[in-house]
Structure 1
Amino acid sequence: MSYDLGVWAGDADDPQARYVRLREGSGPADSSLDGFYRDLTAKYPELHEASDPEESPWSAAIERSGDGAVLTMQHPRAAEVTRVVLDLARKHDLTVFNPQTAEVHRPNVLDLTMCDGSRVENPDAAGIKAALGRLSAKNWYAVLERGDHYVQIGQGKFAAVPKGKFALERRDGSPERHYRTEAGNLAEVVTAFTGFAEGDSAWVEGFEWEKVDFS
């Protein structure tokens, strides 16, 4: 079973229709996705270039047409690859469309997503507080992102923190600028998320951060 994503430059009034056109397109690729394509295939080479095709996350070649592309991956690797695709799309100011869920991730839009699949664009302070109030053992994480910057929170065993604590992480643009700390209560989490949303970095100084090494 495969899992698809559409990626393109700019926005679209009807993302579903844009995705359908992209799937049907056969025109030559332009330069809009060159940087994204280079970064993506540096991490996950095209299926025909993989040293071990059985270990590749792709189930088909990346289909580029005009200023967009369709990515078709193996379903078991979907969550892993989607996270990378979203990171690279933010870096290169591209839109990502998920046809399985109809979710649209637009560049530089404040975007709040949670483990249960709920998503809010440009939430205000009240909306952020309400969403974080729904954190639970099953709905255990939330991410608030804008462009290639984000703040995220996790709780419980999946976040590797004791009961009653929260794993708070932030990324300031690139994987090399990813930091983690612990928050002692939900009020601290709300302060961090609302500060990030408002572009006020004062909340960062309230915690002791450790750099996360992904190597």
Structure 2
Amino acid sequence: MSFDLAVWFESGRVPVADATRTYERLCDGDVAGAGVVVSEAVAVFHRELTDRFPELSATADLGPGAEASPWTAGLDVSAAHVIMPMSWSRADGTAPEVVALAGRHGLVCFDPQAQVLHRPPAQRGTDAPSLRPCVGLKVEDPDPDVIDRAVRRLSAENWFLVLERRSGHFLQVGHGPNAGLAADGFAVEHREGSMEHHYRCVLSERDEVAALFADYAAGASTWSVDTRWDSLF
């Protein structure tokens, strides 16, 4: 099994559900049905990508030189898209570079593992937060459903999540023993600038954590969960 990413051009911001359907059509080989459009940016992206990470066919028959390539198979390429299957052992180092390169060329990058669409800077909000999970890729300007899924995926191994607006302004959660809590506990911290405005609460319901993250992402002035916030100052 490989860790896959797909890149194509979108003229405007589309929901993740639409991106998922596009990706599924592309995986089925139905480029026309996927609705992706030919873009010179895709060709430039592919050229720069393979300059940095050569295709398997460019290595020495899977000999020692194959270690230079993170791919597990040939890339699926058309004039309108690129699908990249990479080894899980190389994903941590390769995937962020792929996302960044796509963004520089004004292309979207879809992560089917997490059901996340990484958008180029032009499609992001001016004061949008970023989402940083314990496991997986950082997401700029995440959709509400992406944030909710990230909360639902918290586990003993994937135990923290940070939603940050700018340096020192964030909402974060730690789950279970790694956060110094019981297996079903959630420690939520909220900070707005300095330590004098750093607070913490402990919850046992995942739905409540999800609600707090939805509040913060929406820029709400009050919390929808009735809980006690203790100052950490």
Structure 1 position 79, deviation (Å):
1.7
Q: 1:54 to 1:96 in 2, by over 3 A?
A: same
**3-state SS in 1 of match to 2:73:** coil
Equivalent residue, structure 2, for 1:33: 42
Distance 1:84 1:20 in 2: 23
Distance 1:17 1:105 in 2: 15
> Match for 2:142: what amino acid?
E
Matches within 5 A, 1:18-97: 18-23=22-27, 24-25=29-30, 31-50=40-59, 52-97=65-110
Instruction: Give RMSD over aligned pairs.
Output: 4.1
Q: 1:105 to 1:115 in 2, by over 3 A?
A: same
**3-state SS in 1 of match to 2:41:** helix
Equivalent residue, structure 1, for 2:19: 15
Question: 1:10-45 CA distances to partner (integer Å, 9 max, x unpaired)?
Answer: 154511110012221467975231221122112111
**Greater radius of gyration (CA):** 2
Distance 2:23 2:78 in 1: 11
> Match for 2:26: what amino acid?
L
Structure 1 position 143, deviation (Å):
7.8
> Match for 2:22: what amino acid?
R
> Match for 1:35: what amino acid?
V
Distance 2:97 2:107 in 1: 13
Structure 1 unaligned runs (5+)? 132-137, 154-185, 192-215
Contact 1:143 1:152 in 2 (8 A): no
Contact 2:2 2:86 in 1 (8 A): yes
Aligned residues: 147
Question: 1:66-97 CA distances to partner (integer Å, 9 max, x unpaired)?
Answer: 41111111111112111001110111111111
Contact 1:62 1:72 in 2 (8 A): yes
> Match for 1:61: what amino acid?
G
Matches within 5 A, 1:106-125: 106-108=119-121, 109=124, 110-116=128-134, 121=142
Distance 2:88 2:193 in 1: 36
Per the normalisation by structure 2, the TM-score is 0.50
Distance 2:105 2:5 in 1: 16
Structure 2 unaligned runs (5+)? 152-157, 170-190, 198-233
Structure 1 position 2, deviation (Å):
0.9
Q: 1:66 to 1:12 in 2, by over 3 A?
A: farther
Equivalent residue, structure 2, for 1:165: none
Matches within 5 A, 1:189-204: none
> Match for 1:37: what amino acid?
H
Question: 1:167-188 CA distances to partner (integer Å, 9 max, x unpaired)?
Answer: xxxxxxxxxxxxxxxxxxx654
Q: State percent identity of aligned pairs.
A: 27
